Amino acid sequence: MSQLSKEITLELVRVTEAAALMASKYLGRGDKEMVDKLASDAMRGMLDYIDMQGVVIIGEGEKDKAPMLYIGEQVGNWEPNTPELDIAVDPIDGTRLVAYGLPNAISVIAATDRGAIEYLPTFYSYKLAVGPELAGKLDINASIRENLRVAAAILNIDISELTVVILNRDRHREIIEEVRKVGARIKLISDGDIAAAIATALPESYVDIYIGIGGSPEATLAAAALKSLGGEIQIKLWPIDEKERNDLIEKGYDLEKVYKTDDLIKSDNVIFAATGVTDGDLLRGVKYSKNIAITESLVMRSKTKTLRRIISHHNLKYKTIPLKSEGEVRFINGKKGND
């Protein structure tokens, strides 16, 4: 039986809200490192308030590379009889977007049963994500032409009405050209492929397919959301060079294996939460009005297939956020105060 209870849902939203609020302080200042540092610090501090025995499976990197939210780090208060959970986080998906005031940056977290998150050994993966109508119908190993033809037939539209989201990278030049040859529309994004993958499962986003090479951690987080939305993600490991390819083969990894949603998130009970930092197709960013900060968040639970949008008004005269590095609570406007 799953140990993940609905009571933790709002707590996870508070985690992404805190990260988004802290990151928004550096909106447009050109400092990606500070954006990530503040968001990670706030997220890590908030996690200690949650009644759980959590372990970070998808995080900021190995212990020697990240001071917090590293892979294997214990989070939560670890009180006896609290749920044992796997945690996946991306304090800011799109640090560059925040640093330069660009759209579609979000803060993300997912929680599920212990042992339910698949570890992927590569930083990058080749990904294909779709919404409920196309789930189980496309094949990442098929040609782009074939997948677009099948998608258009299932959706009962012309191929020219399909919209495909692709990260704007040199490595995607062939994919972009192929989509153009087939005649589908393309929406290029500069960063933020978690939101892009999730958008395929939301009718109001008006996108149909996400395809391309992006981060493996982001694929797992997208899988957590798509599990609640009835969508699907398929991925294949994508080594960055021959050395990594050979290392993976020596370790016994099958580079032709296709990981699907249920391979990445093995539990049927996962909670996903995201808060917007900058305005985007998925969520509105943090807005300030005098002493009020307004955030918009999405939270989903796969067990009930429930999706909630939460608008929160944070009074900055009273708002406190625990920063893990300082061991104390700090007002969002920079003044220190008590809990």
46-97 residue pLDDT tens: 999 999 999 999 998 654 456 799 999 999 999 999 999 999 999 999 999 9
3-59 residue pLDDT tens: 566 679 999 999 999 999 999 999 999 999 999 999 999 999 999 999 999 999 999
287-296 residue pLDDT tens: 999 899 999 9
107 with 91: CB under 8 angstroms? yes
More confident residue, 320 or 332: 320
pLDDT > 80? residue 327: no
pLDDT recorded at residue 330: 67
pLDDT recorded at residue 339: 38
Q: Which of 284, 287, 306, 232 is nearest to 263 (CA)?
A: 232
Q: What's at 296, amino acid-wise?
A: E
Mean local confidence (pLDDT), 160-166: 98
pLDDT > 90? residue 177: yes
Write down the mean pLDDT value for the chain. 93
H-helix or E-strand spanning residue 125: strand 124-130
pLDDT > 60? residue 174: yes
Question: Cα separation of 218 and 191, whole Å?
Answer: 11
Instruction: Map tokens 């020219």 to a residue.
Output: 160
pLDDT > 60? residue 334: no
Question: Cα separation of 321 and 107, whole Å?
Answer: 15
Quote the tokens at residue 13: 């939203």
77 with 50: CB under 8 angstroms? yes
127 with 210: CB under 8 angstroms? yes
295 with 286: CB under 8 angstroms? yes
Question: Cα separation of 16 and 141, whole Å?
Answer: 35
Question: Cα separation of 192 and 99, whole Å?
Answer: 13
pTM of the model: 0.93
pLDDT recorded at residue 338: 43
Instruction: Map tokens 């780090």 to a residue.
Output: 73
244-301 residue pLDDT tens: 999 999 999 999 999 999 999 999 999 999 999 999 989 999 999 989 999 999 999 9
Return the DSSP state at 316.
Answer: T
Question: Cα separation of 317 and 300, whole Å?
Answer: 30
